[in-house]
Amino acid sequence: MTRPGGRSARVRDAVHEAVVELLAAGEIDAAIPKIAERAGVNPTSIYRRWGSRDHLLLDAAVTRLRAKSPIPDTGSLRDDLLGWAEGVERSMRDRRGQILLRALVATMAPDEEPVEYLRARGDDLQNALDRAAARGEPVPTVDEVLDFVLAPLYLRVLFRRPVEPGTAARLVGRLLTALPADPAPRAGRGG
């Protein structure tokens, strides 16, 4: 995924902000023309760039997560996962992050393939795991990280349960405790 700069970045930011504002105001079904009006752009710009409202929501959610919870490179898998998971935790404690997640889940088609936005986030996570494996650390699969860390955080938001401070640290600890001590490559890696 390319990171646009200049006017393109300003348009992206304005459209992302507009969609989050509309969702926060309770306009869950806001159509692209209304989003465009709120952002001060032409609807064709949104259709050309994102193709659909669902892809716009997904891009807004993933862009927000990548900005608020980047996967750090600290030299330690525990610290990398903890830094990332704490960012996700903060995002899931924030009302706008909660709104975006709920809207995204409500609009995604069940049989839709992950689009570039989700693949890019999975690639970020896989890169962190690959760095740890290269250092000889025991490494979970991307699926294990999703199961142990990300899913519980997201499910708390979807079920309107509180995401307490420290939840991410507890989930990362549980994941790393479940890993075998042998850092040998394991089947099923990838994401």
* End-to-end alpha carbon distance in the chain: 16
For the domain 6-178, what is the CATH code? 1.10.357.10
Is the pLDDT at 112 greater than 70? The verdict is: no
Is the pLDDT at 39 greater than 90? The verdict is: yes
Is the pLDDT at 98 greater than 80? The verdict is: yes
Is the pLDDT at 186 greater than 60? The verdict is: no
pLDDT (0 to 100) of residue 183: 55
Confidence class of residue 57 from pLDDT cuts 50, 70 and 90? confident
Give the pLDDT confidence of 62-83 residue by residue, as tens digits. 788 778 778 899 999 999 999 9
Residues 6+ apart with CB under 8 A from 61: 100, 101, 104, 117
Helix residue ranges per DSSP H, 69-134? 77-93, 95-107, 116-134
Enumerate the domain spans of the chain.
Answer: 6-178
How many angstroms from the chain centroid is the CA of residue 185? 26
At residue 25's C-alpha, the angle toward residues 19 and 26, to 5°, is: 95
pLDDT (0 to 100) of residue 5: 60
pLDDT (0 to 100) of residue 25: 87
Is the pLDDT at 107 greater than 80? The verdict is: no
Token pair of 132 as six digits: 């740890």
Where is pLDDT greater, at 182 or 65? 65
User: How far is the C-alpha of 14 from the C-alpha of 130, rounded, in Å?
Assistant: 35
Count the Cβ atoms, other than its own, within 10 Å of residue 162.
10
User: How far is the C-alpha of 10 from the C-alpha of 8, rounded, in Å?
Assistant: 5
Where is pLDDT greater, at 169 or 119? 169
